[in-house]
Amino acid sequence: MMLHYLQPAKLQSKKIVFEDVFSARDPATLEHLKELSSRRRVIEESINQSSFITEAIAREMSGGLTSHCLRDLQKLEQYLPLLENLIFHVDLVCSNHRVVRWISELKIRWSSALSSSSLFNLRGPKFFQIDNLRYELGMTLYLYAALLRERAIEILPADLVQSATLFREASGVFQHLANEVFPSLQSSQSVERPLEATPSMCTVMSIICLAEAQAVTIRKAEEKGTTVGLLAKLHYSITELLGEATAIVYSNTIEYKDISSSFLEFISSCKALHELRSRKYLAESVKIGEQVGVTIGVLRDALINVKRELPGEESWRSIFGKETDAASDMLRKYENENEFVWHEKIPCGDELPRLQGNKIANALPYHPKRWERELNFKI
């Protein structure tokens, strides 16, 4: 089993009406602006939970989609090409003072799903305004990636291959945000922004999605009867990936000073869980070579380490409990066997074999789509 954390997709946004701000020179441009507003409105209503549409009507409007997550992904896929086209044409006249004023008047505001102050604010989430269309693009793409990840979790029990693919797609979108979209906002250093609108946070999310894709791939490998030695390496690569994510977070304490403690616990708990699984498989691999003493040492070390990282979340503790119980049972079995048959010395510390990772999951590159329609403004 995997640990699940769905908070990254819990973003909210304030209303935007493009045609009320931008002055269109022709009917085609006005139509484009109105469609942008319409497409965005259904996203706003969904993520803000302000829609009055019944489940049956929502399903019919989406072409029969029963998954709420899939319906939101469909809405975003209809909005993003329109937004990309607006940005393309605004960039051509971005130095015009009227265009600058229009963008400011849009009042682009998004909340944070990973900020502790937003999560525990009784008056509702805190909204962050940045007067830049790439902020709107970035936060919309962030929501899209977070929902791809959520959909991957949703279908995990039924389709391991598709789930892994969606995690890899989500990783690619986060990677695109980190490298291509949010760096352009860094010039506005004085403007307060949500954690999600920083390149480093998107890199962290990209790594997490890769780790989750690897975890799903391991489940498929376990079903096929992959050797325990390779499974140990595959699990440890997840620990290494999440170690990279942790290092990014703690290398910039100012940027991450308001990060949710539950998010940090999710990363550390996943890291510890997969390290335990890696050590269990390593122990099995060593036992095949009839090194019972080393097997016992590996299992003892694994159980000592995991006790330091027990999570507070009840559903996660349950998964940890099953894993530690299985490791404890293995340990007791081999200790008894060693006591009565082998009488081998039990190594510890540096005497134990070192874990090695083997990463096989890679991000799928994201390629933006633009609905190419000429737009003309009164400037």
Residues 45 and 169 in one domain: yes
Assess if residue 196 is contained within a domain: yes
Number of domains composing the chain: 2
Nearest in space to 198 (alpha carbons), one of 108, 138, 125, 260: 138
Q: Please state the separation of Cα 188 from the chain's center in Å.
A: 25
**Which range of residues forms the domain containing residue 311?**
283-351
| pLDDT tens-digit series, residues 190-246 | 689 999 999 999 999 999 999 999 999 999 999 999 999 999 999 999 999 999 999
Average pLDDT, the chain: 95
Q: Which of the two residues, 175 and 62, has the higher pLDDT score?
A: 175
Q: Which of the two residues, 121 and 104, has the higher pLDDT score?
A: 104
pLDDT score at 53? 80
Main-chain dihedrals φ then ψ at residue 210, nearest 5 degrees: -65, -45
| Mean pLDDT along residues 95-117 | 94
- Whole-number Å distance between alpha carbons of 250 and 268: 12
- Whole-number Å distance between alpha carbons of 136 and 36: 12
Assess if residue 124 is contained within a domain: no
Residues 245 and 324 in one domain: no
Tokens coding 119: 């999560």
% of the chain surpassing 70 pLDDT:
98
Assess if residue 12 is contained within a domain: no
Tokens coding 73: 């992904």
Residues 205 and 241 in one domain: yes
pLDDT score at 191? 81
Residues 179 and 303 in one domain: no
Taking 60 as the threshold, does the pLDDT of residue 189 lie above it?
Answer: no
Residues 97 and 152 in one domain: yes
Assess if residue 34 is contained within a domain: yes
Looking up residue 157, the CATH number of its domain turns out to be: 1.25.40.280
Residues 313 and 267 in one domain: no
Residues 249 and 294 in one domain: no
- H helices of the chain, in order, are 27-47, 55-61, 68-92, 97-106, 116-119, 133-154, 160-176, 199-223, 228-251, 261-288, 292-307, 314-337
Assess if residue 298 is contained within a domain: yes
Assess if residue 361 is contained within a domain: no
Taking 90 as the threshold, does the pLDDT of residue 154 lie above it?
Answer: yes
pLDDT score at 120? 59
Residue partners of 22: CB distance under 8 A and separation at least 6: 33, 102, 377
Cα 181–Cα 186–Cα 191 angle in degrees, nearest 5: 120
Query: In this structure, are residues 86 and 134 in contact, taking their beta carbons and an 8 Å threshold?
Result: no
pLDDT score at 98? 96
Assess if residue 364 is contained within a domain: no
Nearest in space to 179 (alpha carbons), one of 171, 168, 188: 171
Lowest mean pLDDT among 119-123, 300-304, 330-334, 346-350: 119-123
Place of tokens 């015009």: 96
Nearest in space to 43 (alpha carbons), one of 82, 86, 96: 82
User: Is 367 buried (19+), middle (13-18) or exposed (0-12) by CB count in 10 A?
Assistant: exposed
Assess if residue 242 is contained within a domain: yes
pTM of structure: 0.96
Size of the chain, expressed as the number of residues it contains: 379
Residues 262 and 324 in one domain: no
pLDDT band for 118, please (50, 70, 90 cuts). Answer: low
pLDDT score at 61? 85
| pLDDT tens-digit series, residues 263-295 | 999 999 999 999 999 999 999 999 998 899 999
Residues 150 and 217 in one domain: yes
pLDDT band for 117, please (50, 70, 90 cuts). Answer: confident
| pLDDT tens-digit series, residues 315-371 | 999 999 999 999 999 999 999 999 999 999 999 999 999 999 999 999 999 999 999
